[in-house]
Amino acid sequence: MTVDEEGAVDAAQRAVAFARQAGADAAEATVSIARRFHAEARESALSKLEQSTGKALRVRVFAGSRKATLSTTDFTPEGVRDAIAQAVAAARLVADDEFAGLPERFVEDLPALDLYDPHVDRRPGDEKVADALALERLIRESDARISNSSGSHFNDASVITAIANSAGFAGAYASTRAGRSTGPIALDGEIRRTAHYGTAARRFAELEGLREVAACAARRTTELFGARKPPTMRCAVIFERDVAATILEDVFGALSASNVATGNSWLIDRVGSRIGSDAVTIVDDGRMPGKLGSSPFDGEGLPTRRTPVFERGVLKTFLYDTYYARKLGAHSTANSNGSGIGTNNFYLEAGKDSLEALIASTQRGVLVLDTIGFATEHASGTYSRGARGFLIENGERTYPVDEFTIAGSYAEMLAGIDGVASDLRFDAPVVSPSFRVTEMTVSGN
């Protein structure tokens, strides 16, 4: 454990001691110390530069089966002591909750997950600014039709996370993250075409290169020039990997035990049932070395693990923290994010064929490259989004399409997945390869 990690653990342990002195029966404290950097460029100038180092303390206190929480950035002994005393007093006033309390077990080993890259901390600020400026220049060099952007960015962060509680657990780990992204703008007649592309990783060396990011963003912006509405039809729909990841985010919402417990999930009472096709194996895994969703323990100190959620289409489990596991008579899957249930590395397992091979095997359908709209129906499981992409005929992209809607249900979509591509890339906690659904409703002309 580094000196900084030891300092964060000490701060968490002091907060727990203050809580016990104030009369709490049990307590948990989480300390986060984060250094963040962000540079944004527009045209040939730097438009935004942000650099900060911040500390945050979150404490849960329990008076019997009553709970209260507090968050503060005041780390002075007097400030922490006063805030915790108020939280303990507040806990005595809330209603009893038989499911509230600390977990019964905690992580015992801290595996080496390769989450920290010292180069992210040591890289000079002027080089980071140069990345943002270079991306802005390169998107214009990639295609003369690009005349503007919504911004080109470089960002990174170095974070220490520590947890301690009154049951004797104390642990900490350091992690880093770096990212490059850009959003070119081009005019297609009077239509403003926009797109976005980025890369992110724990380690700086694992980022895609500046030219690769710029070229992909430029291509995404200009490839829809001349787009028109497709015909209204029932056909195959291929979701490109970034769009596919947003569908998995929606699926995770229905798998969250907090939504299951409140009746806000279309998957209630379906554990053990076949929901998806044989191509659907979805995993939540917090122990993958070097990945953005990995950590040695979750927000409550439980050891992270690999949890198969769907296996060849069969729903195996929901995802739980300690509270909702108790409420639903299950065991935590180590998915606490400190304030609720979150993902670790949540992904659909990749197939063997490329996206282009998936397109080549599609007689008629649409390739969806972008969706519009953010409504999520966890309870009913309905799906409806505006979309942009390409019409596919006889295994080829024929022309770009936009201003159409794709609709169906998540159950039908998972059951209809008949092809999964090999283009899985772990650049976020929730990721997916491209996949094809046999048939959905496309509403266009």
Helix (H) / strand (E) element for 265: namely none
Helix axes 125-142, 210-222, angle to 10 degrees: 40
- Tens-place pLDDT, residues 63-118: 999 999 999 999 999 999 999 999 999 999 999 999 999 999 888 878 889 999 99
Q: Find the largest Cα–Cα distance for the chain.
A: 73
Indicate left, alpha or beta for 8 from its phi (over 0: left) and psi (-120 to 50: alpha).
alpha
- Residue with token string 């100038």: 45
3-state secondary structure of 85: helix
- Tens-place pLDDT, residues 12-45: 999 999 999 999 999 999 999 999 999 999 988 9
Q: Which residues contact 323 (CB under 8 A, 6 or more apart)?
A: 99, 100
Strands 197-201 and 146-165: unpaired
Residue 326 pLDDT: 97
> Could you give the CA distance from residue 43 to residue 280 in angstroms, rounded to a whole number?
43
Residue 379 pLDDT: 86
Burial label, 210 (beta-carbon count in 10 A; 0-12, 13-18, 19+)? buried
> Could you give the CA distance from residue 278 to residue 122 in angstroms, rounded to a whole number?
46
Segment 274-284 mean pLDDT? 97
Helix (H) / strand (E) element for 172: namely strand 170-188
Any idea where the domains of the chain sit in the sequence?
A: 3-222, 233-246+350-443, 268-348
Q: Which residues contact 88 (CB under 8 A, 6 or more apart)?
A: 19, 22, 23, 24, 61, 63, 68
CATH of 3-222 among 3.10.690.10, 3.30.2290.10, 3.55.50.30, 3.40.50.1980: 3.30.2290.10
